[in-house]
Structure 1
Amino acid sequence: MTLQTELAGVSFAATLARFGDRTAVSTQTGSLSYRELARRVEDMVHSFGQGRRLVALEAENSLPSLVAYLAALAAGNPLLVLPSGGSAADALIAAYNPDIVVQASSGEAVLDVRREDTAHDLHPDLALLLSTSGSTGSPKLARLSAGSIQANAAAIAEYLQLRPSDTAATTLPLSYCYGMSVVNSHFLVGATLALTDLSVVDPCFWDLVRAEKVTSFAAVPYTFDLLDRVGFADMDVPSLRYITQAGGRLAPDRVRSYAELGRQQGWDLFVMYGQTEATARMAYLPPDQAAENPQAIGVPVPGGSFRLEPVPGLDASELVYSGPNVMLGYAERPEDLALGRVVTELQTGDLARRGASGLYEIVGRRSRFVKIVGLRVDLGQVEKILADLGVTAAAAGTDDAVVVAIEGDHNLALIAKTLAQDLGLPRAAVELHPVEAIPRLSNGKPDYPAVAALASERGNDDDAPSAPDAGSTDVRRIFAEVLEQDDVADTDTFVSLGGDSLSYVAASLRLEQALGYLPQGWHLMPVCELAPAPHASLRQVPPSGTHRPEKPRGLSAWRRKVLAPMETGIVLRAVAIIFIVSTHIGFFHWTGTAHVLMALAGYNFARFQLSGERTARLRRHLRSIARIVVPSVAVIALAFAITDKYAWYNVFLLNPLLGPPGWSDYSRFWFVEILVHILLGLAAVLAIPAVDRAVRRWPWAFGMALVAVDMPLFFGLVDSHYPGQGPVLWLFGLGWAAATSRTLWHRAAVTAVAFLVVPESFDNPYRSATILAGCLILLWLPTLHVPRGLHRITALLASASLHIYVTHWLVYPLVDPYSKGLAVLASLACGVLYWILATRAMGFVEKRMKRRRSRSAVAAAVHSRPVTFRAYGRRAADDGVSPALAPGLRE
């Protein structure tokens, strides 16, 4: 028996069990069949109790949220879907007073049952309530019926030709109607959801795509910027069947470019158009039309139709949609939940025309809404938010940004941060401009075109105030200084700018100070998403799309004040270098931590060197090697010059190959030498396109392959020339595999290999135990809790660990005769000082070289096209563009 026989809910949600043992959902920890999912949904329905009640779900891309969503639809309980946490959810819960509030916590759905009976008069057709203006917290909701949801899911499944064999990755939030439509349409046909909240810039996302044989994912315009960043065009994704795009207008040249890319690689691009008021989708552009008509939204979805209604006073027509997926009407207060259908067709607010080919095209907007990165933002609500903060403002905007004129003297940077977070937008998508008075028309109403023009004025005004961009500017400045980059864009990430493990610690420390917290996976997040935490004087709302470190569970309040989480890799580097130096000096004896650092090197390589386009990654890889080689060789050369303990092949890091066998003074720099050899070898191997594609497709398997390659040396089947320490590539590979482990099975396999191999690595059981413990901590514990007062010194030691390692051999003999403890402190301090000086010196040289290359490129362009320069230089000067840059305009 299915739930549909007892309840008048949404059909596909109530009849999940009909697909039996087909896989419904795959997560990081496993998969769930349709039969198992239906059982969980039925259990949740019983938890809701008898009778129809208003359920509010703070939705996230997790299994508990998904089960609660399906259960409400199946049971016929009207469902108010909210973004997880923040002021938007709180405002809507306060406005509509739901009977039950559901949140996901620790892998479970937590129900707050506020009353046994409903406090509302709920219309029999009402099934779903969705915000119509993104995450602004506006009380205006679209009321959707069960029939609308079912009809739109069926229409989408029809034009996408969905099959039970399809698997979709959840690239968009469940709380967003576009992301919700992916869930609905796939469950309608018995397809699979790869449930995740990973971003497309995260290499783990592409691991998931390949592991689960994902056939599609959904994208908003901003997603394509991120796809460009990660080198999507060069990726091998053989399972991909199509990409869908909605959530705002994608520039025609981008549509054409990606449509042609899809033709080359065997997948389709579906450009789509929709609104929450139509459940999700109203139109789609057939993939075979995308390259030829990239400006169009296409044709109505099956079952729907368009008409063009002339707009008085405008030489244009408004697009009006009719179909079974049109909402019942709006709700602006709880009493509206009792209303039935008051809307039979949808006035979209978009101005459109129909081309000769029968395809519709949007040519403008009639209403006061803009859609940015997939969120529909009510500009009137923007003004209301600011008014609640005591700010007089007028808001305009485009599909790129909200532009606001602010009257009076205010802290624009602080207001901009808070507004961006309340809207759920990237900080770069909010522009605030100070004005003496709001621009107004003769009738006293705000002059919104004049407000919108402030954006272009600011773009041409070198003296415009920089306060509105302070949030993203802070992050750009940190990245520019730490990574020695002159030009940092909003879509750049730490990794795409060449960040590596040596610069990661310094950047993370400064970011935490600037933002007030450190988002998980920040090194893969674009600059515009790294939003500072708002000031307490306004609102304590965490930035949308980021995750604050969770408070340590089980700790008492006073311990929470004392301890704070810190990334495991940073802590291990700091502890390891202290143990290495102390052991070498004889302050105490604890071996094995250098080998833990080798595993950590593999871990960081997999994190920082596997994303982006292949040529860019190779440049980053070689730059990282140079950051190790240059400061190390400088110290070793000095040691060779002033002592008799080293040979010329130490200077060139060749002692493992040319030096005497066994352990000697010549072997003191073994860690740097072997690490450089491994990194150079990987650079050569990954420069082969076929190998590079294989590594990007199966990164975890490649890490395990590195372990396997070293086993003949490890077990003595092949003679190793490496002195004293023996083979360590397997440790590098073990760290690599730990970083790319995405499932419980992956981690279990790495753990098993560690338990099998590490105890055999050395005769000393204590050293082996240290190596094993370090590898397992790196694998299983993403953060460690460290006293807050030690965070700065821990980060400092971790940043300087390489420099401490190479300098301490020269430093401690000078102090050791007086005090071993003092020798340890002196070694650490001198290493930190050398790190500061070497980093600044290398940064200075890198900047000079980059500027010289840039000047040479401009000069070459000018001299190579004298005629073109003359022809275009005159036009460029007329447009206010420097003639030196004019040749680029012709391209």
Structure 2
Amino acid sequence: MSLAFASHHATRGADSARARVAFVERLEEWGDRAAVYAPTGDLTYVGLAAAVRDAAEQLPATRQLVLMAAENSVDWLVTYLAALSRGHVVLLVPGDRPDHVAGLVQRYRPGSVVRRTGSAWTVTAQDDAPEHDLHPDLALLLTTSGSTGSPKLVRLSHDNLDSNATSIVQALSLTDRDRAMASLPVHYSYGLSVVHSHLACGASLVLSDFSVVDPCYWDLVRRSGATGLSGVPHTYELLERVGLAELDLPGLRTLTQAGGALPVATAARFRALAAERGWRFSTMYGQTEATARMAVLSPALATTNPDAVGVAVPGGAFRVEPLEQAATRAAAPGVGELVYTGPNVMLGYATSPADLARGREVHELRTGDLGTVDDAGVVRVVGRRSRVAKVLGLRLDLDHLERDLGDDSTPVRCVDLDGRLGLVTPRPDHAESLLAVTAQRHGLPRTAVVVLDGCEIPVLSTGKPDYPAMRSRLADVADVVDSGGRDRCALVVALYRHLLGRPDASARTSFVDLGGDSLSYVEVSVRLEEVLGTLPAHWQRLTPAELVDPITTQLDSDRRARWRRLETNVVIRALAVILILANHTKLAELPGGAHTLLVIAGYNLARFQLTGRPPRERATRIVQGVVRIWAPSALWIGLVALFVGTYDWRNVLMLNQVLGDWARWGPHWHFWFIEALVALLLGSALLCLVPGFDRLERRHPFAVPMALVGLGLLTRYAVVIPDAGPYRGANALVLLWLFATGWAVSRATTTWQRLLVSAVPVLTLPGFWPTMPGRAATITAGVLVLIWVPTLPVPARAVGAVSAVASASLFVYLTHFVVYPHVMPVNSGLAVVASLVVGLAYWKAWGWTSTVASRVAASAWARLRAGRWSRRPAAVGSEVQPGLGTVPA
């Protein structure tokens, strides 16, 4: 740590005895336990205490106001703790907003300013600073719950900090074995509370300013052995986007959320995920005025009260203040303003330096939230009484913002738009400057603010601003602002409804949510790229509304490009089926296409079915995928068996591997690949239902498929099935290792994991087909490209053809056995083309037929349930009840 003084502030009077923060004074008592993670080695509590003493010696001896520009670093932590240990009053502000820092320096005139200057962490004494009259209990000043830019500060005492830290330790059952990812801004009361509570119990911290969407964040989580993550609602939105359920996080034990209400459905998904992975997920309710957290909803309480914010933290209590008569008539029974009492309630507010001398003025906190408290002390929040908005986890005082952004000559009215800030002003052409000010002073990105300028501000008959009318107008403006995205969003939804056969698709349902799988993936992804341009990674888990946001600027350049990049697995699927046709028609001796497709099947199983869903739902989705493979296969095979007689009932039921003749290769083995695929998928569905397996797979998403690879090698090397016969390359049990290799490829996220799974085909395929070494080479090349090359360049004009062949690969494989023998005597190349044409035709016909059938069946079922059954079939375009549509292959 580097501490450089620009000047030294003169000592003004003797340093009198004063209160201290207990957990800061006790740092050394935790001995050699890790306090802070650092890449070069953990900083122990003894080491931290020594660093704090050294930093304290460099701070002024006389108690004063110290303004500190916070950052998530060891430098900040040491200096912050040093200032508290010296008894200074710390004014903590965001370090990345220099305008805000400058405004508070000018208003409060601190004795010292601590911030990063270049690469150095500096403490600069302010020579012209006045001598503040600081109340003995005062320890910390914070801006009000993220209302950055406001001169209004929350005055917190030493006891506030200690009591809340202790309460959180008890409420969350924190111990010295916990290690928290401290990535929330530490000038924010919730982020600071994470630091305080862990230091109070001898736990350790991993200080970071990485976002959860940054791969470096997850590398740090694994490298540091972090056990806990904390976030605001926006954090949890991002965690769903990055696929938290699929990450390998063996050390994670605790998830906490505060900073605003988490949507009920989102909270339910994370509770289910936590239950499956053995994590503890707690939501919390708090305000900066109560030193961050006032209530905690434990996992146990959430099972019976999922709509609650929890019970008061130890030492605290809630009561309901009845509303005035006019408001009571509009409120539900028992609803009133929530009032909180406890040792963590602030001393009061400060709006000027003179307020720093004031003692306790607040004995109970009127939260401004409307809610209820039941006999068991369970608290529910049902609304807001005051004008406060929550935007990206920040609690914004709308009245303050109006004063900050406007004046009498140019008024600005602020409205809460449910996660966005709305601004209305009569001044024309004022939007750009307002967007700049809200970004610079208040840290709000442009996408979080909607401005209506040049508009007369609507008023009520009383002359007061008509905020409901403004909210309605701003909602219309938001639609216009988002029109480009909304247009594309509507196109994406329309594509999902058409290609997936799901009329219930909406802007909030992802490809995976709608039951999309590997059969529909290729066509959907290619059609989406035509609308959106290059797709982001994991697009299948993003909703249409999320998809359109980061993509629109890529659209035009992608459309003009002569080459497009397609996902590697799509290109491999198309090439593999063409290799199968070329090999069977003797156009080229290139075996291995079907076995490569089996690897791709394992890869897509992990991507589409093994998502963050409960075990039973995972298994159901896999079985649904099997049905979408078996149904068109059984229909085709049955028709050929009926009219040609080549196959029999064993082929129709996919039982030839069980009941067929392993001693003789013939037409009855044509569909070995489909039978093996169906058997392996059904086995995967059964595994999902095995007690303990699902949790094990979620905790170790890469290790589990690699273990299955090892298990499959027992059959590959004939240790378990020594008498598989000369056609063991068609046996599902023998081919488990290839299928599991594809699964492992999807889960390989680090270089060493990719290297490990790359070794599987290189070491195990040679020798499996002693007389056909080219087959092993083809499969090995396909797997290695799938691992190391995420996308492949394809001529723009060929994208449609490649995607169509990849999408129809199952249907081409099914039908080509009937087609190519009749055309191959004429020309092998023509036989390949004819097989592709028939397969594509069957693919299109099946897709259209299954879509129509599912809609008719769904409509009939809906009428039956409603008691309005009739024999008249529904029109093709009739609506399908959500969840009843099927995905066309």
Q: TM-score, normalised on structure 2?
A: 0.65
- 2:512 is the counterpart of 1:495: yes
Q: 1:728 is matched with which residue?
A: 735
Residues 297-327 of structure 1: CA deviation (Å, up to 9, x unaligned) = 6446658999979999978768477866859
* 2:887 alignment partner in structure 1: none
Distance of 1:407 and 1:477 partners within structure 2: 38
| Greater gyration radius | 2
* Distance (Å, rounded) in 2 between the aligned partners of 1:340 and 1:849: 72
Distance in 2 of aligned mates of 1:284 and 1:724: 57
Going from structure 1 to structure 2, the CA distance change for 1:454 and 1:846 (only over 3 Å counts) comes to: farther
SS at match of 2:282: strand
Equivalent residue for 2:768, pick from 761, 764, 767: 761
The residue correspondences of 1:770-781 to structure 2 (distance < 5 A) are 770-779=778-787
- Cα gap change, 1:304 to 1:802, in 2 (>3 Å): same
Cα offset, 1:441, TM superposition: 0.7
Q: CA 1:761–1:286 in structure 2 vs 1: closer, same or farther (change >3 Å)? A: closer
Judged with a 3 Å threshold, the aligned counterparts in structure 2 of structure 1 residues 402 and 474 are, in CA distance, closer, same or farther, namely farther
SS state at 2:386 partner: coil
Maintained 8 Å contact 2:282/2:296: no
Quote the Cα distance in structure 2 between the aligned partners of 1:314 and 1:777: 66
Which residue in 2 is equivalent to 1:113?
A: 118
Where do residues 331-370 of structure 1 align in structure 2 (5 Å cutoff)?
Answer: 348-350=367-369, 364-370=383-389
Task: Tell me the CA shift for residue 649 of structure 1.
Answer: 4.2
Aligned partner of 2:465 among 446, 449, 456 = 446
| Counterpart contact for 1:12–1:150, Cα < 8 Å | no
**Alpha-carbon distance, 1:282 to partner:** 3.5
Q: Which moved more, 1:733-742 or 1:208-217?
A: 208-217
> Which of 351, 375, 395 is the matching residue for 1:376?
395
Letter in 1 for 2:521: Y
Q: Is the 8 A contact 2:370 2:382 kept in 1?
A: yes
Distance in 2 of aligned mates of 1:474 and 1:166: 47
Alignment correspondent of 2:717: 715
CA–CA separation in structure 2 for the residues paired with 1:153 and 1:562: 60
2:657 aligned partner: 656
Quick one: distance in 1 between partners of 2:504 and 2:682?
A: 28
Q: Report Cα offsets for 1:88-117 as digits up to 9, x if no partner.
A: x8xx4676589xxxxxxxxxxxx9938997
Q: Which residue of 2 aligns with 1:212?
A: 251
- Deviation of residue 479 (structure 1)? 3.1
Describe the SS at the equivalent of 1:185. helix
Deviations 1:820-850 (A, max 9, x none): 5565555545544443332232222222223
Cα pair 1:569 1:600 within 8 Å, conserved: yes
Distance 1:285 1:642, change over 3 A: closer
2:494 is matched with: 477
Please report the RMSD computed on the Cα atoms of aligned residues, expressed in angstroms. 6.4
Determine the structure 1 residue equivalent to 2:617. 616
Residues 497-548 of structure 1: per-residue CA shift (max 9 Å, x gap): 3221222233333444555553433333456644534877xxxxxxxxxxx9
Change beyond 3 A, Cα 1:443–1:244: same
Q: Contact 1:406–1:435 at 8 Å: present in 2 too?
A: yes
Q: 1:504 to 1:2 in 2, by over 3 A?
A: same
Residue of structure 2 aligned with 1:854, choices 856, 862, 867: 862
Aligned equivalent of 2:262:
222
Secondary structure (helix, strand or coil) at the match of 1:600 reads: helix
Q: Give 5+ residue unaligned stretches, structure 2.
A: 4-19, 61-65, 84-89, 104-115, 205-225, 230-234, 329-335, 430-434, 477-481, 870-880, 882-889
Q: Secondary structure at the match of 2:867?
A: helix
Report the secondary structure of 1:707's partner residue.
helix
2:630 — aligned with what? 629
1:630 match: secondary structure: helix
User: Could you list the runs of 5+ residues in structure 1 that have no partner in the other structure?
Assistant: 58-64, 83-88, 99-110, 247-272, 411-415, 458-464, 537-547, 550-556, 862-883, 885-891
Total equivalences in the alignment: 758
Distance 1:118 1:787 in 2: 59
Letter in 2 for 1:656: Q
Cα–Cα, structure 1 residues 9 and 285, in superposed 2: closer, same or farther, change >3 Å? Answer: closer
Q: Secondary structure at the match of 1:846?
A: helix
| 1:484/1:289 CA distance change after superposition, 3 Å | closer
The equivalent of 2:843 in structure 1 is 835
Q: Measure, in 1, the Cα distance between the counterparts of 2:808 and 2:763.
A: 33
Q: Is the 8 A contact 1:298 1:361 kept in 2?
A: no
Quick check: 1:506 aligned with 2:523? yes
Tell me the secondary structure at the aligned position of residue 765 of structure 2: helix
**SS of residue paired to 1:370:** strand
Query: In structure 1, how many angstroms separate the alpha carbons of the residues matched to 2:495 and 2:443?
Result: 25
Match of 1:676 in 2: 678
Contact residue 594 and residue 673 of structure 2 kept, 8 A: yes
**How far is the alpha carbon of 1:629 from its aligned partner?**
1.9
In 1, Cα distance between equivalents of 2:632 and 2:186: 49
Residue identity matched to 1:205:
L
Deviation of residue 729 (structure 1)?
Answer: 1.3
Tell me how far apart the structure 1 counterparts of residues 511 and 561 of structure 2 sit (CA, whole Å).
Answer: 30
Secondary structure of the corresponding residue to residue 274 of structure 1: strand
Letter in 2 for 1:836: K
| 3-state SS, counterpart of residue 520 of structure 1 | coil
Counterpart in 1 of 2:173?
Answer: 161
Match for residue 746 of structure 2 among 739, 742, 749: 739
Structure-to-structure mapping, 1:427-826, within 5 angstroms: 439-450=458-469, 473-488=490-505, 492-514=509-531, 518-525=535-542, 529-533=546-550, 566-610=566-610, 611-637=612-638, 649-657=650-658, 658-659=660-661, 661=663, 663-687=665-689, 700-717=702-719, 718=721, 719-720=723-724, 724-725=729-730, 727-741=734-748, 749-763=756-770, 764-779=772-787, 782-783=790-791, 793-812=801-820, 824=832
SS at match of 1:720: coil
Q: Which residue of 1 aligns with 2:873?
A: none
Measured after TM superposition, the shift of residue 403 of structure 1 is 8.7
Structure 1 residue 447: deviation in Å?
1.5
Aligned in 2, Cα 1:302/1:848: closer, same or farther, shift over 3 Å?
same
Cα pair distance change 1:743/1:19, threshold 3 Å: farther
- Bigger mean CA offset, 223-232 vs 201-210: 201-210
Contact 2:337 2:385 in 1 (8 A): no
SS at match of 2:281: strand
In 2 relative to 1, CA 793–223 (structure 1 residues): closer, same or farther, beyond 3 Å? Answer: farther
Q: Tell me the CA shift for residue 217 of structure 1.
A: 3.9
CA apart distance, 1:494: 2.9
1:492/1:526 contact within 8 Å kept: yes
